[in-house]
Amino acid sequence: MSGKSCHSGHRERVRKRYHEFGIYSFHEHELLELILFYGIPLKNTNEIAHRLIEKFGCLDEVLKAPEKELTKIKGIGASAAVFLKTFGDICGEYKEFISVNQYALSADEYVALIREYFSDTEENKCIIFCPDTNFRISFSADIFLENTKDTIPIMNNLVKKESSRIVVAVNKMNSTASPNQNDIQLMDIISEKLSAVGIRLQDFLIIGKRSAYSLLNDSAFVV
């Protein structure tokens, strides 16, 4: 039996096992071997998978590894390294999407929640709300618009609380929810600062007396 047909038969058996029993019937190195089937067509990926796990410690770390480090492993060429890195990036994005959206509220639900916080807040004051931790900070838009040092403790607090996403809301409950140039500028500044520390701006809401406006999604709705 040729090496090619031997590997082909083994791969078919592994694929069949996956289809019949799913990923929970596999050890980490076997899952990695299965993944490598699609990045390395003809080699024995079982041995390569063992080398990768031995080097990086676990499947998760293999999928996070830089391409340069991956290519140091015998059997991993440039294209296989790109494949693993791309696969890992996609998995990471999917996990982030699930964590962000699993318990995400809709914009109008956020408005209903945040309106309560605005009951004792001045007009044009803002709130940063962290859905993951229910943590919130009230602040004046001017400190961001004028880029004062008062923005530093706010950003430090968000990092300390390990916030992955935030919602910003501007209080205009004594008027309308129409956005102005300052609102747009404020959203851009905050979004840029959040991006620098790995936090996602989930929404930017302007909350008026009878309506609200999602500046991030460019949509208005009655509340």
Domain ranges, ordered by start, for the chain: 3-101, 107-222
Quick check: helix, strand or coil at residue 130?
strand
Whether domain 107-222 has CATH 3.40.140.10: yes
- Which regions of the chain are under pLDDT 50? 1-3, 5, 102-103
The pLDDT score that the predictor gives to residue 111 is 74
Segment 63-113, tens digit of pLDDT: 999 999 999 999 999 999 999 999 998 888 776 655 555 445 666 777 777
The pLDDT score that the predictor gives to residue 97 is 59
The pLDDT score that the predictor gives to residue 6 is 53
The pLDDT score that the predictor gives to residue 103 is 46
Buried b (16+ CB within 10 A) or exposed e, 30-56: bbbbbbbeebbeeeebbebbebbbeeb
CA angle, 192 as apex, 191 and 193 as ends, to 5°? 95
The pLDDT score that the predictor gives to residue 2 is 47
What proportion of the chain, given as a percentage, has pLDDT over 90?
Answer: 28
Instruction: For domain 3-101, give its CATH number from 3.30.1330.10, 1.10.150.20, 3.40.50.150, 3.40.50.300.
Output: 1.10.150.20
* Common-topology check for domains 3-101 and 107-222: no
